[in-house]
Amino acid sequence: MIPVLWWRFRRVRSLPTIRFSSVNLMEGTGRSWIVRTRWLPTMLRSLAIAALVLALARPQSGGGYRDLREGIAIQMVLDVSGSMAEQDFQINGQPARRMDAVKTVFEDFVLGRGGLPGRENDLIGLTTFAMFADTPCPLTLDHGSLVDLLRQTDIPGWVGGRKVRDQEEAGFTALGDGIVMATDDLRRAGEQAVAGVPGAESARSKVMILLTDGKNNPAPAAAGFPAAPNPQDAAKVAASLGIRIYTIGAVSGLDRRRGGIFAPRVEVDEDAMKEIAQTGGGKYFRATDVNSLGQVYEEISRLEKRRTGEREYRDNTGAAKLAMLVGLGLLLVEVMLVITRYRRIP
């Protein structure tokens, strides 16, 4: 098509000419093959341009149909209130904050470490809540960026695992706000999936994982501001949008006391967490240490799988190189012909 258009719409340049009184004597000599094929250089240049355009267009080769068994959208809703600084978990035999233990296992869940299969094909996001809810990372397939943001996430007033100041925000646990914000993120992703937005296909199946170590404790309603949403009501809204909710109570069953005595310690409102999970069609889990927390994520990983598929396309660098060489070769031949056999005088 390109050579035809080039030939049809090319501009005819005005070339210098020599005038003769008569060319009757030349008519009997006939037309040589050079004259008959004078269109050849122009055609060669047209084909060369077409080949170079093809090379620059990055030709692709169709790959096989890839079966994705875990293509879902997962929003992790993480409690970052002050109680998450309690050191009743252990990492590699050393006392660790609940926050650090949860972040470690969640990272393993995303990347596939510590016996967990990983969630390579899932859209995964992070929502945090204490006095307020926030979304450090929206739903994304860029799990490297998600992990970087997860590592930077900490309790208000804490930086790099160390407390640097007292923050009022750390004294509250707004469960309802966290559920509402995560629901909105999953809802928008689901709408994009229905609309066929590229990259959002996984959000046809939506999951929320809510992890806390305490009870619902929102900040009192200020003048002119509404009260925080009730977690159970927020869960009903999420369920109506097709979002499945899993809840995790991350509190060790043992607490260190003076004299080396250990006593039971349970702060999570397990009845409320079970109700939220039941409303969202999910399940409640109790995590008392890093191993049990990993087992929770492993079970969720087994439960939440959705078979989807996509066709892969890869840049065909071999075809691009061949088209480039062909284009350059045609240009070279055209130049050689123009300056030799097809040279015009003047």
Cα separation values, 225 from 33, 130, 190, 221, Å:
90, 17, 29, 6
**Per-residue pLDDT at 264:** 44
What is the CB-side half-sphere exposure of residue 32 using CA atoms within 13 A?
Answer: 6
Please indicate, yes or no, whether residues 298 and 329 belong to a single structural domain of this protein. no
User: Do residue 328 and residue 286 come from a single domain?
Assistant: no
Q: What is the CATH number of the domain that holds 74?
A: 3.40.50.410
Flag residues of the chain having pLDDT under 70: 1-31, 60-70, 222-225, 253-266, 305-316, 345-346
- Same domain for 235 and 342, yes or no, is no
45: alpha, beta or left? (left if phi > 0; alpha if psi -120 to 50): alpha
What is the pTM for the complete model shown? 0.68
Is 114 part of any domain?
Answer: yes
**Does residue 162 form part of some domain?**
yes
* pLDDT reported for residue 126: 97
Q: Are residues 205 and 141 located together in one domain of the fold?
A: yes
Query: What is residue 263's predicted lDDT score, i.e. its pLDDT?
Result: 46
Residue 19 within any structural domain of the chain:
no
- Report yes or no on 29 lying in a domain: no
Q: Looking at the structure, do residues 332 and 289 belong to the same domain, yes or no?
A: no
Residue 28 in domain: no
Interval 58-104: pLDDT, tens: 776 655 545 444 478 999 999 999 999 998 898 888 899 999 999 99
Number of domains in the chain: 2
Domain limits for position 147? 68-219+228-306
Q: Are both 115 and 243 inside the same structural domain?
A: yes
